[in-house]
């Protein structure tokens, strides 16, 4: 038995090893072959006679490779063209993003009180162009584009057909697992930690695929992620082929059931609620079927791109997949407690009011996140978290707070979650994907007869959401500086007392209250009516003074009535939740 080592250039994946081993084994006198893509070589064993070097070279060429030492690759490309294509890809993605935003693709919200099979299908259509695109779509886009790049000899049908099997497996797998949910209920509930780790793994794969497709790292582009031999054999990946294994495509599609997505989880909860295998299977099956058009369009696009435009297309796809990957990695890190707990949603801050020994905080969940999303509470006092869900079939409808063991899908209307913080800290919460976030800032204090301090969160500034401060109107610099006081009317003449002794005051709101200063008597009830000329923006929909028991957040333009009874003499400023002055009540 003899051995020889043959250097080979041009290998790029596990399939190359398998193909070369098959070709070299056909050479006369060769008994066994072991090809190593990472080492760029083939170890050949032979019996008695030495195999012809000419035959070995011909076998390598027949497989599509060359005999010889491969040149060392750099980590970063030295080609100006690679970076020029990357910049062009970035501009293209920016234009596509702005167009999608202008058409409202990121703000679609669906409402219903009764989940039907047709509604589940519509939810799937919406999910396919939103959060499913960010995680499942990004993964498919990266894998299919990379495969098309490595196999330019494959036909469009060979590239597209696996996507049909993937979606077939996805619909069938969702139906089967949805039926199991309908039968077994929440027994099959997936932990938030598992979802976070799964998101992290998928995000990491997408980052690597994105870098490979952009071509800016030649060394990384030539590396390959490989599976253990036994798993590769089970999935049908133990042979070189121009298209994916149909078996692996079906299994992969079914396993996406476990990827975190608020839309998917909402349908999973609906399946549990039906309480039967058939209904659960149909709900999840129709939902998966709804996602198919968007996911199939990705496969169709990657299968037809060829020729001169392919390189530019791979750069665009690579950058998009890289962005999706970083997005998912960041979300996964937030789910496990790393990074800023409230870096993705509005800068609205609220403090709790204590009622019957519990700290009451209120939050609205919308399609685009939570408002307010930052709360100040005291430790060792139970918190009653009242969440009004206005978009129960959106990604933000899944609440996850690992530090308090909270994992709940919101139903339409009012939802109540209770917990007790035991130490001063930040308690981050988010949706199940980590996309929409918020935080509870727990401070010291044991006074259960009063109200919680209005201290502003120490969390980093947050991006705008809905009508919160920073969304473009109203607050005029919320969160900083000295409150601005401009008296708009005399004080004493504005107070009227009715027959029952209630002191009545009124203001109009037209980009500011008028009048905005009043003098009232202590110990007597006050009824303050505010009428808006137009719907105000930002935090100017709210009125806060905890010493007077005022914490009102009402919709406009309907009149808002604020009732309170001052007990102590003094001057009381009424502010927005961020502390910007709105009015002053003088109590005599």
Whether 341-468 and 2-67 are alike in CATH topology: the answer is no
Overall average pLDDT of the 268-286 stretch: 83
- Split at pLDDT 50, 70, 90, the class of 114 is low
SS3 sequence of 279-338: HHHHHHHHHHHHHHHHHHHHHHHHHHCCCHHHHHHHHHHHHHHHHHHHHHHHHHHHHCCC
User: What's the rounded mean pLDDT across residues 180-209?
Assistant: 74
How high is the mean pLDDT of the chain? 76
pLDDT over 60 (residue 187): no
pLDDT band of 452, cuts 50, 70, 90: very low
Least confident of 212-221, 438-447, 548-557: 548-557
Query: What's the pLDDT tens digit per position in 9-65?
Result: 877 666 677 778 888 988 888 888 988 877 888 899 888 788 888 889 999 888 878
Residue 384 is predicted with a pLDDT of 94
Going by pLDDT thresholds of 50, 70 and 90, the confidence category of residue 174 is very high
pLDDT for 458 beyond 70: no
For the stretch 512-567, pLDDT in tens is 788 888 899 999 999 988 887 766 555 556 788 878 888 776 554 567 888 899 98
**Bridge partners, 360 (sequence order):** 353, 384
Among 100-109, 387-396, 484-493, which is the least confidently predicted range?
484-493
Average the pLDDT over 434-439 and give the result: 85
Best CATH choice for the domain 2-67 from the list 3.40.50.1100, 3.30.70.100, 3.40.50.2300, 3.40.50.1220: 3.30.70.100
Q: Which of 200, 172, 493, 145 is nearest to 320 (CA)?
A: 145
pLDDT at 356 over 60: yes
Give the pLDDT band (50/70/90) at residue 172.
very high
**Which of 44-53, 228-237, 267-276, 356-365 is most confident?**
356-365
Kindly state the average pLDDT of the residues 382-389. Answer: 93
Q: pLDDT tens-digit profile of 221-236?
A: 766 555 444 544 544 4
In the chain, what are the domain boundaries? 2-67, 80-102+115-223+253-335, 341-468, 474-588
Phi/psi at 543 (5° precision):
-135, 125
pLDDT at 477: 37
- What is the predicted pLDDT for the residue at 340? 54
Looking at the domain 474-588, which fold is it? Immunoglobulin-like (2.60.40)
Q: Is the pLDDT of residue 260 over 70?
A: no
C-beta separation of 315 from 216 below 8 A: no
**Chain CA centroid to CA 587, Å:** 49
Cα–Cα distances (Å) from 438 to 8, 348, 376, 463, in that order, read: 54, 10, 12, 11
pLDDT, one tens digit per residue, over 312-341 is 887 888 888 888 888 878 878 877 766 555
Question: What distance lies between CA 510 and its chain's CA centroid?
Answer: 38
547 vs 139: which has the higher pLDDT:
547
In DSSP notation, 210-235 reads HHHHHTS-HHHHT------HHHHHHT
Higher pLDDT among residues 19 and 243, named by residue:
19
- Averaged pLDDT, 102-118: 67
pLDDT band at 122 (very low <50, low <70, confident <90, very high): confident
- pLDDT at position 359 is 92
Task: Give the pLDDT band of residue 580 (cuts 50, 70, 90).
Answer: confident
Nearest to 203 by CA among 399, 408, 98, 211: 211
Tell me the range of 212-216, 252-256, 272-276, 558-562 where mean pLDDT is highest: 252-256
CATH of domain 341-468: 2.60.40.420
More confident residue, 465 or 4: 4
Residue 89: band (very low, low, confident or very high) from pLDDT cuts 50, 70, 90: confident
Task: State how far the Cα of 420 lies from the Cα of 271, in Å rounded to an integer.
Answer: 31
pLDDT at 111: 60
pLDDT at residue number 360: 93
Q: Please state, as a whole number, how many other Cβ atoms lie within 10 Å of the Cβ of residue 403.
A: 15
Contact between residue 287 and residue 121 where contact means Cβ atoms under 8 Å apart: yes
Confidence of residue 386 (pLDDT cuts 50, 70, 90): very high
| Helix H or strand E segment including 550 | strand 550-553
């Amino acid at each position: 038995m003899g051995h020889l080592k043959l250097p080979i250039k041009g290998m790029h994946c596990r399939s190359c090893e398998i193909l070369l081993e098959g070709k070299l084994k056909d050479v006369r006198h060769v008994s066994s072959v072991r090809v190593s893509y990472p080492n760029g070589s083939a170890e050949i064993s032979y019996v008695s006679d030495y195999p012809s070097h000419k035959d070995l070279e011909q076998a390598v060429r027949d497989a599509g490779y060359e005999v010889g030492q491969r040149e060392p690759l750099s980590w970063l490309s030295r080609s100006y063209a690679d970076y020029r294509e990357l910049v062009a890809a970035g501009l293209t993605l920016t234009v596509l993003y702005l167009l999608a935003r202008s058409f409202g693709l990121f703000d679609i919200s669906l409402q219903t009180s009764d989940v039907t099979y047709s509604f589940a299908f519509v939810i799937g259509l919406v999910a396919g162009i939103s959060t499913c695109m960010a995680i499942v779509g990004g993964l498919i886009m990266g894998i299919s584009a990379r495969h098309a790049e490595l196999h330019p000899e494959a036909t469009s049908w060979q590239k597209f057909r696996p996507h049909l099997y993937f979606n077939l497996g996805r619909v069938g797998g969702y139906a089967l697992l949805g039926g199991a949910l309908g039968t077994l209920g929440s027994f099959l509930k997936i932990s938030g930690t598992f979802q976070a780790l799964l998101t992290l793994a998928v995000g990491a794969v997408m980052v690597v695929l994105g870098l490979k497709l952009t071509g800016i790292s030649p060394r990384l582009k030539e590396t390959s992620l490989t599976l253990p031999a036994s798993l590769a054999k089970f999935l049908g990946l133990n042979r070189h082929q121009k298209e994916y294994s149909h078996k692996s495509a079906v299994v992969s599609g079914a396993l996406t059931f476990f990827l975190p997505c608020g839309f998917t989880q909402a349908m999973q909860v609906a399946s549990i609620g039906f309480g039967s295998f058939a209904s659960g299977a149909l709900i999840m099956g129709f939902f998966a079927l709804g996602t198919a058009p968007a996911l199939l369009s990705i496969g169709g696009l990657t299968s037809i791109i060829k020729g001169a435009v392919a390189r530019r297309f791979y750069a665009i796809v690579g950058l998009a997949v890289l962005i999706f990957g970083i997005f998912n990695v960041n979300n996964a890190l937030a789910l496990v407690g790393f990074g800023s707990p409230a870096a993705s949603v509005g800068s609205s801050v609220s403090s709790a009011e204590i009622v019957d020994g519990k700290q009451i905080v209120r939050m609205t969940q919308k399609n685009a996140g939570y408002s307010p999303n930052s709360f100040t509470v005291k430790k060792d006092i139970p918190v009653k978290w009242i969440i009004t869900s206005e978009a129960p079939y959106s990604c933000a409808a899944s609440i996850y707070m690992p530090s308090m063991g909270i994992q709940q899908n919101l139903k339409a209307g009012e939802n109540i979650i209770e917990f007790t913080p035991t130490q001063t800290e930040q308690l981050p919460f988010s949706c199940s994907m980590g996309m929409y976030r918020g935080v509870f800032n727990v401070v010291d204090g044991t006074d259960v007869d009063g109200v919680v301090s209005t201290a502003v969160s120490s969390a980093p500034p947050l991006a705008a959401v809905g009508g919160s401060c920073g969304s473009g109107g109203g607050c005029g610099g919320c969160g900083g500086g000295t409150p601005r006081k401009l008296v708009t009317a005399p004080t004493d003449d504005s107070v009227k007392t009715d027959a029952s002794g209630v002191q009545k005051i009124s203001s109009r709101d037209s980009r500011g209250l008028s009048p905005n200063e009043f003098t009232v008597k202590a110990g007597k009830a006050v009824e303050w009516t505010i009428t808006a000329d137009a719907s105000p923006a930002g935090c100017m929909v709210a009125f806060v003074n905890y010493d007077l028991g005022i914490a009102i957040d009402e919709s406009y333009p309907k009149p808002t009535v604020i009732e309170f009874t001052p007990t102590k003499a003094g001057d009381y400023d009424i502010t927005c939740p961020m502390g910007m002055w709105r009015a002053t009540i003088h109590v005599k």
